[in-house]
A and B are shown apart, each in its own frame.
Chain A
């Protein structure tokens, strides 16, 4: 009998103690973020979706070699006489394979980096085609994708950009 009441007492005490801790935090400000309305800004080093600058790239192939999953492809541009020049004709990253590992950014020798991680964590793809981003002359940093249906380059609409101006790292 005593054991029974001791048991009841112990359990009730544990419940009260548990509630006491919860109560302590009830009046403190919440630590959660209401996601689509409020958005966290990641730290400066965050490895988000990759951006690419066609103007700066010298087409050195180092990022292609550094990538562990072969997601980068590029083709050298040629001048009128057919000689290769240090510019890319097109450059593409397959986000379906990308590990977000920063090895390409580290390997890139240009200053500022031609390929770099943005702070964008909302990369959304609705179609398979969208996963392969392509950059050509005068394409924006986020690139475009080649839609096989319309046989044309489309803007990456699926990508909801968190930061209108993408921070650029040196």
Chain B
């Protein structure tokens, strides 16, 4: 038994006790790992002494696959990274490819992209809100969250025909224009959704039992968060004000008025709270975008059927639902990318687990794992 660990126990009761270390597998099939993640936990009593996250169960090699497909085909592949919020994936690839090809999108396409990404952020955070409640033993919020999430997915289905893998944001624009009917329904949804957020707060956010299980658990200090290169709500939960939408605005995010919610001490509750507050901000952004949706074409001209960008490199990053999603594209002038690399926020956020889990109780593992909100499709790509 290590000395550091002894201190976490009551020394008097533990002194004469000899405990064995026990190795347990959390996952790959575990309802709370949200995908196929295995964590090898070495525990002593109830305290974790070592945690080894094991990934790769969902590896599909999309980075390699993109090297034999043209740029339009690659957009389809991007849907499969973070399948809970696929719009930002589409967007980041298109931004990188448009930089390479030197094509400018139209204002209407930009606004539609913003609307879709923010709606997707709402859907993704709703999934987090529901499942995090389940992880900690609160089933009811899940049902309410999915009721609303279903409406968002219906809106997506109405516009682009798919509920998860959209393939909506295309090179140079978007797939189809939003009809006035769709915009009206979206506005109606936003109106319906705003009071629901207050209900969520009553059901879960300020519930004393939930707060007792998440406040002060899994604290990540601002310095640690920066050291681990976290991004998204995980970083902002620690109080670091970094949001790509504000710092390097893309697709016209500089024209919208919104705030970046920040947490205080980086506990599980703060990360959770950041996400719930982000939903409110997303509602604000979407309403503004709908209110001043510019007229015009939704697809820029000048993108060939099979685009052949000049040789070069480009990097684009966006604030996806889970953090700073970046993509690096290198082209040798051919029809397919020479190399594509994905800077996936989930993968980087996950790395923190091996350090943070040590010293925690087994029952808190799920609280921490749920609060960093990973999607394994993006971790493994």
**Which A residues fall within an 8 A CB radius of B?**
7, 10-11, 14, 17-18, 21-22, 31, 42-43, 45-47, 66, 68-69, 99-103, 117
Contacts and interface: CB of A to CB of B under 8 A. Distances in A.
B208 interface: yes
Q: Please give me the 8 A-B residue pairs with the lowest Cβ-Cβ distance, nearest first.
A: A68-B73, A47-B161, A45-B161, A43-B158, A68-B76, A101-B76, A101-B167, A14-B207
Nearest to A102: B161
B202 A18 contact: yes
A101 B76 CA distance: 7
B162 interface: yes
A66 B140 CA distance: 44
B140 A22 contact: yes
A110 to B, nearest CB: 17
A141 B224 CA distance: 59
Given A14-B208, A21-B199, A101-B167, A42 B157 contact: yes
A18 B76 contact: no
Highest count of chain A CB atoms <10 Å: which of B69, B154, B207:
B207
B132 to A, nearest CB: 16
Given A46-B157, A47-B162, A102-B167, A21 B203 contact: yes
A8 to B, nearest CB: 10
Contacts of A99: 76, 79, 165, 167
24 contacts: A7-B208, A10-B208, A14-B202, A14-B208, A14-B209, A18-B140, A18-B202, A43-B154, A45-B157, A45-B161, A46-B161, A46-B162, A66-B72, A68-B69, A68-B73, A68-B76, A99-B165, A100-B165, A101-B76, A101-B165, A102-B175, A103-B72, A103-B167, A117-B161
A141 B159 CA distance: 25
Contacts, number: 61
A118 to B, nearest CB: 11
B159 A45 contact: yes
B341 interface: no
B60 to A, nearest CB: 12
A100 B159 CA distance: 15
B134 interface: no
Nearest to B158: A43
The main secondary structure of chain B at its interface with chain A is: helix
B147 interface: yes
Contact of B157 (A18, A43, A69): A43
A18 B207 contact: yes
A31 B161 contact: no
Contacts of B202: 14, 17-18, 21
Contacts of B208: 7, 10-11, 14
B336 to A, nearest CB: 11
B68 to A, nearest CB: 10
Contacts of A100: 162, 165
B269 to A, nearest CB: 15
B160 interface: yes
Contacts of B199: 21
A80 to B, nearest CB: 35
B181 to A, nearest CB: 11
Nearest to B69: A68
B357 interface: no
Contacts of B74: 68
Nearest to A105: B161
Nearest to B138: A18
Contacts of A66: 72
Nearest to A42: B157
A21 B198 CA distance: 11
Contacts of B222: none
B75 to A, nearest CB: 9
A10 B167 CA distance: 47
B77 interface: yes
Contacts of A45: 157-161, 176
Interface string B144-168: 0001001000100111111001010
A101 B166 CA distance: 8
A21 B147 CA distance: 14
A46 B203 CA distance: 34
Contacts of B165: 99-101
A14 B199 CA distance: 12
Contacts of A10: 208
Contacts of B207: 14, 18
A117 B157 CA distance: 13
A88 B322 CA distance: 46
A69 B73 CA distance: 8
Interface in B192-226: 199, 202-203, 206-209
Given A11-B208, A101-B76, 6 more contacts: A43-B157, A45-B157, A45-B159, A45-B176, A103-B73, A103-B167
A14 B73 CA distance: 50
Interface in B160-189: 160-162, 165, 167, 175-176
B214 to A, nearest CB: 14
A169 B161 CA distance: 13
